[in-house]
Chains A and B, each alone.
Chain A
Amino acid sequence: SQQGEEDPQALSIQEGENATMNCSYKTSINNLQWYRQNSGRGLVHLILIRSNEREKHSGRLRVTLDTSKKSSSLLITASRAADTASYFCATDQGGSEKLVFGKGTKLTVNP
């Protein structure tokens, strides 16, 4: 079963706007990760946030984590056409060797 579920499934915005994607999960976690996948390519790791962290930044990316609500959000500021991709969250289910991925949010940034 899917641990992480992203919302929305698809998002279309204009270049320069901010994009926000959400992830909900069910069990306790040690960390939550976000990945990007460009069409036809492998996934690329974006950012990892640990269960004792509430917010993390990397360039134009901002990730928040609310363990009480079992949810995370990924904010991409000042979106560019090159940000067009699918974005996945993944969780470790509390220390497992495995990650469980959500089904992803497909982001389209229109020039």
Chain B
Amino acid sequence: DAGITQSPRHKVTETGTPVTLRCHQTENHRYMYWYRQDPGHGLRLIHYSYGVKDTDKGEVSDGYSVSRSKTEDFLLTLESATSSQTSVYFCAISDRPGETQYFGPGTRLLVL
């Protein structure tokens, strides 16, 4: 398995609180991605990074921000969590754009 970890693996939080999810890789891959997975919607891209401090928006970026201060870490922040952000969040990495992605184990987030 590619060396990708996500933390926390499970989180319950309240509406209006900020939440930060962490993705950590040991593969030195340039590209990192955050997805959310919801029933009926499949996997949707939130934000991605193409290098340290270089990020761009995905399909469903509203209400989310990201940061990448070093190659191995990509943080996803829900600025003020809402119930609609209850989901399973996956991080993925890739060493070439548009090529094979390697996924982390996911974070289950419940916003009450």
Residue numbers of A with Cβ under 8 A of B are: 2, 30-31, 33, 40-45, 48, 88, 90, 92-93, 95-104
Q: Which of B40-79 contact A (CB under 8 A)?
A: 40-45, 48, 50, 56, 58
Q: Can you list 18 pairs linking A and B with CB atoms under 8 Å apart?
A: A41-B105, A42-B90, A42-B104, A42-B105, A42-B106, A43-B90, A43-B92, A43-B103, A48-B99, A90-B101, A92-B98, A95-B98, A96-B98, A97-B50, A97-B56, A97-B98, A98-B98, A101-B43
User: Are B42 and A2 in touch, CB under 8 angstroms?
Assistant: yes
Query: For the complex, would chain A's binding face be called helix, strand, loop or mixed by DSSP majority?
Result: loop
Kindly count the residue-residue contacts between A and B in the assembled complex, taking CB atoms under 8 Å apart.
59
B-chain residues with CB within 8 Å of residue A48 when the two chains form the complex? 99-100
User: Are B42 and A103 in touch, CB under 8 angstroms?
Assistant: yes
B-chain residues with CB within 8 Å of residue A30 when the two chains form the complex? 98
